[in-house]
Chain A
């Protein structure tokens, strides 16, 4: 956006300059479920430029009309909007176009180039790879070969979805392909956890308040627990999940992002590079997960869900799900203990756990503080003092809670923990934007803070890959099972009990 006097003091800002979004994989699930509703909401909220076009690309022959129908269906199902009677939807529909073709066919890109020229030479172009990772390479290379990765006027950027590689080697190879055709500033690796309001608020909470940062270290914090629990099973994604598992699907990206946001040092400024440099430092200080000559690290527990009962219904075990091998050893649950080698966190364990088919859907970061050095109420109060907790709820109910001890009213000295809750949904009016809205807009504006940088992705894989190799070389050992609807296998409690701690009850 250019500077001009009408922009002064605008309450809705900023919006990108003229933009075309090219969605590869426009007939797929992600587009339907997340991208199209996000574009609708951005448009409604006046966050899109007046000159704006969406070009969907995939193999299925949909045509402009078919794609527009998909858009209408999508916002009906996922945004509850009846496109027929909605002026914003009607206007956005007119800006949607579709091109079908094989993604490795150069002619497709020639047609795309013509289309983009017709849109106007000054448009910025955002390519969105909503396609299977196996197709990333050919799209990037074809875009490069067709001269579509740079322009005299207007920017060119690319959003790459998860998974970004399946191990260190493949992540490096993908970065290599991307960097052959795009500079790092043009590449936006999405991790939708970073688009969540609470995750961004974690930085505000830590660095815009003077009272938390002084105690945010080993002197006051006993340990940190990060949980990402899903109630769903593998659903229709078995083909992908069988080759991935929880460690790749959740830990390498989402949980590592959350971990570094908690652990990072204060950046010198709220700029993309400064924030991402400090996150990188934190990640590099994580001790290797696999130690020396021993077998699979005892600090990591993996498991798989067996049949059970979740949210009021009986559900099959992982191995009985459609598309899953009967003898599969793919983990649907991982828990681990990490240590960070730096001054702030030496000796403070970080416990991570994530799994499918757990009793409830919740993602949170719980920071448990040390108990006071003296238990002066021990003799007068029958209940023991619970340590202070600071909980960052990432989903579904975004907010921050603090637990502290209070005296129960009455003549006796009796203590009880109380929870003070701040909830995004109720503290400020208005609606909390969906992660994909925030991230799409940031990419259009060229704001990379909430995207993963190449070195972060590689360092994270460097941490995870030895574990995957250890598991592979250990051969097809039986993998612990947990009943669907329970909080993981017994082994995870042992992991905590060894340290004299317990998982938080959620």
Chain B
């Protein structure tokens, strides 16, 4: 989809005003013949700059069982609204009215998830009170992370970079399940990460640091992999023992190898999983509690970036 400025959010939707949303919903609902009317399970509120919302629209089409509310922040008090059977897009709403709009449109009695694709990090404060969970997803996450740290007691936070790490974290943990590896863990203090997304790499490092509690002993070498996948490879070792995770050439699977005493011990190849936005948000929709591991990783990150 292009990000042309004049392209409307939800191009296939019916254009209406805020007050006309219910009527528009009835209109789109009327024309539908769903074989199995689906049960709704959550509201997803997407907030961010307009061009980042256009990208999210594609993903929302692949989510099932949710009502989506897209809000592009602007200066309008009577913004343009478009409605489809599952989503409402509000284009250019003034920031201090976002709360009111969401309050009117969210599904009652069901969880809501806010997907924050950027903007003034101050708007996170309002969202923290509106949504059960907040998913950060911005090109430069530093400001959002710093702000989130101050709001952890008010809302459950996560970051889509963190979601991208799910499989990597699990693989690391599985290798640590091997007794020889676990025994040697304390001495594995050299960590090298090759990543196309340095922020994601630092989040991974922070997670390891916060989980394994090496204190200052860990030496970290994060290398930029230009044009690479967000995470390409991770190696944690001490020369004789080591854990290596690496993305396979097809970029759909990760191989994990534990070498013990210089010999390859256990190995495993698993799917990286669907890394598309819809799949990542779907994974977040399944989480209902605070993600304490993420919060600990966030706390272990260097606030200066």
Contact = CB atoms under 8 A, between A and B. Distances in A.
A binds B: yes
Contact of A18 (B36, B37, B178): B178
A491 to B, nearest CB: 34
Interface stretch (A9-17, A142-150, A327-335, A371-379): A9-17
Contacts of A17: 177
Contacts of B212: 5-6
B127 interface: no
Contacts of B253: 86-88
B174 A427 contact: no
Contact of B65 (A1, A9, A13, A428): A428
A10 B269 CA distance: 18
B122 interface: no
A426 B270 contact: no
B262 interface: no
Nearest to B62: A429
B270 A88 contact: yes
A6 B271 contact: no
Contacts of A46: 167, 170-171, 174, 270-271
Interface string B18-45: 0000000000000000001111010000
A427 B177 contact: no
Contacts of A48: 268
B177 A50 contact: yes
Contacts of B103: none
B38 A50 contact: no
Nearest to B278: A429
A501 interface: no
B188 to A, nearest CB: 12
Interface string B206-226: 001001110000000000000
A: contact size bracket:
35 or more
B98 interface: no
Interface in A406-453: 420-423, 426-430
A423 B65 CA distance: 10
| Most chain B beta carbons < 10 A, residue from A7, A9, A10, A421 | A9
Interface string A8-35: 1111110101100000000000000000
Contacts of A427: 38-39, 41, 64-65
A236 interface: no
A87 B250 CA distance: 8
B44 to A, nearest CB: 11
Interface stretch (B7-15, B74-82, B145-153, B288-296): B288-296
A44 interface: yes
Contacts of B208: 6
Contact of B166 (A1, A2, A12): A12
| Most chain B beta carbons < 10 A, residue from A13, A85, A420, A427 | A427
A8 B292 contact: yes
A9 B293 contact: yes
Interface of A is mostly: loop
B179 interface: yes
Nearest to B169: A10
Interface string B133-175: 0000000000000000000000000000000001101111111
Contacts of B269: 43, 87-88, 90-92
A85 B174 CA distance: 25
A440 to B, nearest CB: 16
B174 A15 contact: yes
B11 to A, nearest CB: 24
B190 interface: no
B113 to A, nearest CB: 13
A47 B303 CA distance: 35
A43 B173 contact: no
Interface string B243-280: 00000101011011010000000111111000000110
A305 B75 CA distance: 72
Contacts of A87: 248, 250, 252-253, 255, 269
A44 B271 contact: yes
Given A2-B182, A9-B291, A91 B211 contact: no
Interface of A: 1-2, 4-13, 15, 17-18, 43-46, 48-52, 85-88, 90-92, 122, 397, 399, 420-423, 426-430
Closest A-B pairs by Cβ, 7 of them? A9-B293, A91-B269, A87-B253, A429-B282, A6-B173, A50-B266, A50-B268
24 contacts: A4-B173, A4-B182, A5-B213, A8-B292, A9-B294, A10-B293, A11-B283, A13-B170, A18-B266, A46-B270, A48-B268, A49-B177, A50-B178, A51-B266, A85-B250, A90-B269, A92-B269, A421-B37, A421-B39, A422-B39, A423-B39, A426-B36, A427-B64, A430-B286
